[in-house]
Amino acid sequence: MIRYDNLKESLKTFSGAKPFDHCIVDGFFEDDVAKALESEFPDYESQDWFFYNNSIEHKKALNSWERFPQMTYKAFSTLQSEAVTDLLADALGDNIYVDHGLNGGGWHMHGEGGNLNPHVDYSIHPKLGLERVLNIIVYLSSGLKEEHGGHLGLWGHDAERQAPGELIAEVPPVFNRAILFNTTQNSWHGMSRQMSVPEGVYRKSLAIYYLRDPAPAAVQRGRALFAPREEQRDDAEVLETIKLRSDVSTSSSAYRRNT
């Protein structure tokens, strides 16, 4: 199902990459598997999706195992197997755990207007109390082109402002490409280019996150912390959405502020 040779080779470049530890794996799944996974996504208009629709994020997500068709179910099961986690633990130099509940992971889908402002992910799992340490995102849209946007941006960290600094890298969402990155290194990421797509074209991805025992200095962040884009820095509505979104007690009120 997974091309382990590709994964192993790419993991050699993981440690020390800039602006934080990461690597890109092209041809992550076997070709027939990737095509099957792409075809199993629900329709964009399906009522099964949870829609994050506000000024800092515009995406649909679904992480229910009972909704996953056969190939998708197998893919997530494989990504949680020791064959994968042992490789990842070696690359990280740390023991890791899987999150069977796929909190924040699963299927993600962006259409016209798709957006994800720069952000750092939640650090402590809301139910397991473990620290999130690694993301894998696999892009599965064969019809997506360079001009459609949706690139994953990786930003440096501005320590003075505690905010994203310079955009260091952009990763186009090429079909069957995976990106793996450490989430404990002030790892600002998001869409560097918002989506502009013709009808019927979407940015589809599988996302899975891995956990570790909390480091002594682990940031106690229960929700993702977003940053405004340059043109949003003085926008009161955006800043209020970011504030609500980052607090466990108020985040649910921010998810759908545009609906």
Q: What is the structure's pLDDT at 259?
A: 72
Residue 244: what are its φ and ψ, rounded to 5°?
Answer: -65, -40
CB 88 within 8 A of CB 181: no
Surface-to-core class of residue 103, CB atoms within 10 Å of its CB (0-12 exposed, 13-18 middle, 19+ buried): middle
CB 24 within 8 A of CB 136: no
Q: What is the structure's pLDDT at 111?
A: 98
Q: What is the structure's pLDDT at 241?
A: 98
Instruction: Say which DSSP state 129 is in.
Output: -
SS (H, E, C) 55-70: CCEEEEEECCHHHCCH
Q: Please list the pLDDT of the chain residue by residue as tens digits (259 residues).
A: 999 999 999 999 999 999 999 999 999 999 999 999 999 999 999 999 999 999 999 999 999 999 999 999 999 999 999 999 999 999 999 999 999 999 999 999 999 999 999 999 999 999 999 999 999 999 999 999 999 999 999 999 999 999 999 999 999 999 999 999 999 999 999 999 899 999 999 999 999 999 999 999 999 999 999 999 999 999 999 999 999 999 999 999 999 998 7
Surface-to-core class of residue 191, CB atoms within 10 Å of its CB (0-12 exposed, 13-18 middle, 19+ buried): buried
The CA distances from residue 122 to 91, 119, 130, 135, 223, in Å, are 22, 9, 11, 12, 4
The CA distances from residue 13 to 16, 93, 144, 163, 166, in Å, are 7, 14, 26, 26, 21
CB 157 within 8 A of CB 164: yes
Q: Which helix (H) or strand (E) segment is 259 a member of?
A: none
- Going by C-beta distance under 8 Å and a sequence separation of 6 or more, which residues neighbour residue 259? 51, 53
**Domain 4-219 coded CATH 2.60.120.620:** yes
Residue 71: what are its φ and ψ, rounded to 5°?
Answer: -70, -40
SS (H, E, C) 9-65: HHHCCCCCCCCCCEEEEECCECHHHHHHHHHCCCCCCCCCCEEEECCCEEEEEECCH
What region does 104 belong to: left with phi over 0, alpha with psi -120 to 50, or beta? left
- Cut 0.85: pTM above it: yes
Angle between helices 82-92 and 4-11 (to 10 degrees): 10
Q: What is the structure's pLDDT at 258?
A: 87
Domain ranges across the chain: 4-219
Instruction: Say which DSSP state 77 is in.
Output: H
CB 19 within 8 A of CB 222: no
